[in-house]
Amino acid sequence: MEFKSKNPFLSNKAFAKGDTQVYNADGRPVEIIDYNNTMTVNGAVNKTFVLFALLMAGAAVTWYMAATGQNPITLTIAGAIIGLIMVIASMFKPQYSRYLAPAYALFEGLFIGGISAIFEVRYPGIVLKAVGGTFVTFGVCLALYRFGVVKVTEQFKSVVIASTLAIGTFYLLSWILSLFGVGMFIYGNSLPSIGFSIFVIVIAALNLFMDFDLIEQGARQKLPKFMEWFGAMGLVITMVWLYIEFLRLLSKLQSRD
């Protein structure tokens, strides 16, 4: 992702310290960056932990409802819808990420808890396996990125973004066709369906490298402080996607036993 000054989160106000304009020797205006109010990697990491705590808190609500015999489907669906709204809003208004990101994590947690409970009832033990797979994948990707094994180049970004959009489009098309009674292969437990799930997990994992790069480059370019929330939110979104795909893959594998 290339950061340019024309983007909303790179406006001059985000970089200026106060309203005082300073000029250089040639009489040109110079922007003053307040380095105490800019994005840092540690700040983004800390906010990621906060979002995960909120995600777990939301998940605990619907999980507890399911465990005690209550129907969590209403909160599960509401959490998914409101979480999606928060994501879309942050894309257009990243400067409000400090509010949108926590709201997203909390409501998305309601969805995660509910959907996890449903899978756990049908496939006992699947949630723990999916959580393990998600965090192992995260750890491996982080290590590969930190040690420079994987480089996030412009070509890498183009391939990952195109693949992600293709997957999203395919899922949307599959959902629309399902409304007319047309079932796609991705919903079964056939080998092509399992292969597709593995492919999606790989693409989701590659998105983690994009998230790491966003945070690192944002800190390096001294983006506004609110971008810590934006970067943390992007990382949590990818982790949630990865977790759901692990649930789907494991459910297909267990249903073949």
pLDDT, tens only, 141-158: 999 999 999 999 999 999
Within-domain flag for 69: yes
**b/e for 15-44, b at 16 or more Cβ within 10 A?**
bbeeeeeeeeeeeeeeeeeeeeebbbeebb
- Whether the pLDDT of residue 18 is over 70: the answer is no
Within-domain flag for 156: yes
Average pLDDT over residues 124-153: 95
Within-domain flag for 239: yes
Beta bridge partners of residue 29, listed in sequence order: 23
Within-domain flag for 2: no
Contact 37, 86 (CB under 8 A): no
What stretches of the chain show up as alpha helix (H) in DSSP? 12-15, 41-67, 73-92, 97-122, 126-146, 154-179, 191-220, 227-255
**Per-residue pLDDT tens over the stretch 33-87:** 455 688 999 999 999 999 999 999 999 999 999 999 999 999 999 999 999 999 9
212: its two tokens? 């790491």
- What whole-number distance in Å separates Cα of residue 129 and Cα of residue 32? 49
47: its two tokens? 């906010």
- How many other CB atoms are there within 10 angstroms of residue 48's CB atom? 23
Contact 109, 58 (CB under 8 A): yes
Beta bridge partners of residue 22, listed in sequence order: 30
Contact 230, 189 (CB under 8 A): no
Q: Which helix (H) or strand (E) holds 3?
A: none
| pLDDT band for position 118 (cuts 50, 70, 90) | very high
Q: Please give the C-alpha separations between residue 94 and each of 66, 83, 224, 231, in angstroms, as whole numbers.
A: 34, 15, 10, 10
Within-domain flag for 17: yes
86: its two tokens? 């928060």
Average pLDDT over residues 225-240: 96
Select from 239, 181, 210, 253 the least CA-distant residue to 52: 239
Select from 207, 3, 16 the least CA-distant residue to 94: 3
- Whether the pLDDT of residue 24 is over 60: the answer is no
Within-domain flag for 1: no
How would you class 67 by CB atoms within 10 Å of its CB: exposed for 0-12, middle for 13-18, buried for 19 or more? middle
**Per-residue pLDDT tens over the stretch 88-114:** 999 999 999 999 999 999 999 999 999
Within-domain flag for 128: yes
Domain count, the chain: 1
Within-domain flag for 3: no
Directed axis angle between helix 73-92 and helix 227-255, to 10°? 140
Range of the domain at 28: 8-255
